[in-house]
Amino acid sequence: MDITLIYYLVPSLIMFCCGIYGFLTRKNMIAMLISLELMLNAIDINFVVFNRFLYPGSMEGMFFTLFAIAIAAAETAIAIAIIINIFRADKNINVEDASQMKN
């Protein structure tokens, strides 16, 4: 059995769809953020896999993933700071209660 490109893409696709499902259904903002991380990771995997299978000589996909991880870290930090702030104000991090910029 030969493990071809598609074998790697299908799990990442499923992971991505799980992320979509989670993002749309969860109410807890942290849970939504977790779903977001799932989607991001699926994309990272895609980059790496394409790089590895189609252009083994270069490192673009790998570097893209590297930077994406760094950005994801920054983004998560900021998002969590905001969420904690919202929690401090409302005692609750339900996304549906935070539909206004000002209240």
Partner 1 sequence: MDFTIPLLILAIPLGMFLLLGLAGMKMSHKTAGVLGTLGMGTVLVLSYFTAFQYYFSGNPEFISEAGQRLQSIIFNVDWLAFTPNLVIRLGFLLDPISAMMLIVIPTISFMVHLYSLGYMKGEKGFQRYYAFLSLFSFSMLGLVVATNIFQMYIFWELVGASSYLLIGFFYTLPSAVSASKKAFIVTRFADLGFLVGILILSFYTQTFDFITLTSDPGSVLASTAGATFMGCSVLTLAMVLIFMGGMGKSAMMPLHIWLPDAMEGPTPVSALIHAATMVVAGVYLVARMFPVYLQVPSSLEFVLVIGAITALYAAVVACCQIDIKRVLAFSTISQIAFMMVSLGVARPEIHECLGYMASMFHLFTHAMFKALLFLGAGALIHAVHSNNYTAMGGLRKYMPITHITFLIGCLAIAGIPPFAGFFSKDEILVAVYGYSTFWGIWMSCVAGLTAFYMFRIYYLIFWWNEPDYHHRPHDGEMVMSLPLIILAAVSTVAGFIHFGEFVTWQGHEYQIHMDYVVAGISVAIALVGIFFARFLYLKENDRPRRMADSCRWLWTAANRRFYWDEIYMFITHKIIFNGICRPIAWFDRAVIDGSMNGLAIVTNKASVAIKNLQSGRVQQYVLLYLIGALLLAVITAWCVL
Partner 2 sequence: MESAGSIIMYWIIALSIVIFSVLTVTTRRILRSATFLLFTLFAAAALYFKLDYEFLGAVQIAVYAGGIVVLFVFSILLTSHPGHKSERLVSHRKWIGVLAALAALVVTGGALISRCGLACASLPEMSNPTMKTIGAAMMGTGSEQYLLPFEAISVLLLACIIGGVVVARKR
Binding site for partner 2 (CB under 8 A): 1-22, 24-28, 30-31, 33-35, 37-38, 41, 44-45, 48-49, 52-54, 56-60, 62-63, 65-67, 69-78, 80-85, 87, 93
DSSP string, 33-66: HHHHHHHHHHHHHHHHHHHHHH-TT--HHHHHHH
Burial of 4 per CB tally in 10 Å (0-12, 13-18, 19+): exposed
Residue 91 is given by DSSP the state: S
Contacted by 100, from partner 2, partner 1, none: CB < 5 to 8 Å by type: partner 1
| Ramachandran class of 91: left when φ > 0, alpha when ψ lies in -120 to 50, beta otherwise | left
Q: Which does 82 bind (CB under 5 to 8 A by kind): partner 1, partner 2, none?
A: partner 2
| Minimum distance from residue 97 beta carbon to partner 2 (Å) | 13
Question: Taking CB within 5 to 8 Å according to partner kind, which of partner 1, partner 2, none is near residue 35?
Answer: partner 2
Least distance CB 56 / partner 2 (angstroms): 4
Report the SS3 class of residue 28: strand
Q: Which of partner 2, partner 1, none lies near 97, with the C-beta cut-off 5 to 8 A by kind? A: none
